[in-house]
Amino acid sequence: MKTTPIAIAALSLAATLAVAAPAKQAKHKPTAAEAKAFVTKVNDELKNLWVRQSNADWIRNTYITDDTEQASTWANEATMAYLANAIKEAAQFDGVKVDAETGRMLYLLKVASTVPAPSDAKQREELASISAKLEGLYGKAKYCGKDGKGKCREILELTETMAKSRNYDELLDAWTGWHSTAVASKPLYERMVEISNEGAKEIGYKNVGDLWRSGYDMSPADFEKETNRLWDQLRPLYDQLHCYVRARLSKFYGADKVALDKPIPAHLLGNLWAQEWQNVYSLVEPYKVSTALDVDAGLKAQNYDPKKLVKLGESFFTSLGLDPLPATFWERSQFTKPQDREVVCHASAWDVTYNNDLRIKMCIKVNEEDLITVHHELGHDYYFHQYYMLPALYQQGANDGFHEAIGDTMALSVTPAYLKNLGLIQAVPTDEKGLINVQLKDALDKVAFLPFGLLIDQWRWDVFSGKIKPANYNAAWWALRKKYQGVDTPVARSESDFDPGAKYHIPANVPYTRYFLARILQFQFHRALCKTAGHTGPLHTCSIYGNKDAGAKLKAMLALGASKPWPEALYAMTGERQMDAGAMADYFAPLYTWLKEQNKGMTCGW
């Protein structure tokens, strides 16, 4: 899709002019009929604004320039202004007895903005500008050596180094280099917190964190308790995994670099943020019995390219009876990094026009990690596809964790047997050693991520509430990393650093607890779909590939969008109304038993 500078400017101007502030609050006592008319109007006007904003954001993400940042700023400011006014006007219907659908829409409107803008026009303009600049800084970031005169490397190259290098100093250089690129975003982030908190207060919330935690059909306090309950269910499994991995890394790098009773240095876990650890599998592999798990080699042998990888992901969904992706998906998506311009490579899925205009934006590497990421992003797109005909306020997941979980649920069915059928591995591990290898490799992704998924918003909730001050941003960040993950900075850090800003979701202001919830929900969804498919036997052996009954149940839940509270959507899929980490614990039960045996005599914890 080519867009000229004139078209971009026209889009931005249209977005600004399209804002139609809701009518002034009526002086008489509002009625249920007026509430229904209000949400009908808001759905129509919001969809118009969201489409304009989405178009501008797509262009900015796939063509980073000052002009596209400005276009995105204008479009976002227009949406912010409308939402701020609409949410305030919606307050007049508090206490009015309305039908269930109107009530649901009023609730969704009140929690619709993750970056709420104040009514002051100058502050709103500043907030929109900061939001665009923060994403732009992240997308354009490069590390050019300690003195700034070396070879400049962007995130994809640094990610490759972190994944493949086993040289301690080389890893340290890549880690410190990427984290140094976040320093410039700190003052912008501080200001964003100040302004958005003002916006949150204007619409009735204590701060932005309070607003975010209000979007789960329960009170903020109850939601925080719920996340802690889920984490407590899985903490023993994580602790055993951490203990085992630390011992293996200590053996490889030496106890002077990885102490057996302290947190693991963050740069040694195969990932810029130490959020998932699957790239160090070769260092911690339990049994050197076969090369059956080398999916990367299988992809290379079959000459997979990025588009073919996406086609493989699509084939999983269509095997369940879901529709093929529309032709426009293949025409408009970004699969690879263009050589002629700056783009945001962070993977994301889109329905740009809220009308089945499905796309993904990735800089795909042909490897197992991106094979799973493709399934994840297509899960978003298939969710969009099932609910795109609903009113705009319903065009979202039952909660944001649902949206993140769908593609990952499908990826749980990418079992060794499935991969062998595709010719991507040579043999299916059939003995206990093979099973433990497979489970450990999966756990380095799924289980290792859990505390990271939880702590990101723990940090932000405290930042928004003022508990963590700007003068303590970095120290508080690493205190949480140590507390939850048992991971520590490899070199001394100070408040002149802004290590949280090195993670995309912080400058982009994307709530993160959704990913923690998704890790748990995907196993609960998988258990339910496997039951529907008639699977018997251990959960980790189930693949729903090709099962139309499972696909029908999946479609029915996806089609609800956000029209029902998430416990009802969960019930439609699973027959349960409470999130349950037990399914994940059951899935990894063989590994948990094995890890406890391996760790006997070790000093676990940190």
Q: Per the residue annotation, which of 259, 346, 369, 479 is the catalytic one?
A: 346
Q: For residues 561 and 391, what is the distance between their CA atoms, to the nearest angstrom?
A: 10
Give the active site residue among 179, 242, 376, 540.
Answer: 376
242 carries an active-site annotation: no
Decide if 404 is catalytic. Answer: yes
Q: In this structure, are residues 573 and 554 in contact, taking their beta carbons and an 8 Å threshold?
A: yes
Query: Active-site residue 376, yes or no?
Result: yes
347 is catalytic: yes
CA distance 574 to 531: 9
Sequence-distant (6+) residues with CB within 8 A of 41 are 22
Q: Which of 231, 257, 234, 258 has its CA nearest to residue 247?
A: 258
From 380, 526, 535, 540, the catalytic residue: 380
340-345: long-range contacts, CB 8 A cutoff, minimum separation 24 = 341/63, 341/64, 341/65, 342/63, 342/64, 342/65, 342/139, 342/140, 343/61, 343/62, 343/63, 343/64, 343/139, 344/61, 344/62, 344/64, 344/135, 344/138, 344/139, 345/139, 345/154, 345/155, 345/156
Q: Which of 138, 515, 545, 587 is catalytic?
A: 515
Which one from 205, 238, 404, 443 is the annotated catalytic residue?
Answer: 404
Extended beta strands in 336-376, E state: 348-351, 358-361
Other Cβ atoms closer than 10 A to 70:
18
Catalytic option among 190, 202, 253, 505 = 505
Residue 505 among the catalytic residues: yes
3-state helix, strand, coil in the chain (%, to 5): 60, 0, 35
Q: Which of 32, 163, 347, 479 is catalytic?
A: 347
- Could you give the CA distance from residue 543 to residue 534 in angstroms, rounded to a whole number? 11
Catalytic residue check, 190: no
The active-site residue out of 15, 138, 377, 562 is 377
Q: Which residues are catalytic?
A: 346-347, 376-377, 380, 404, 505, 515
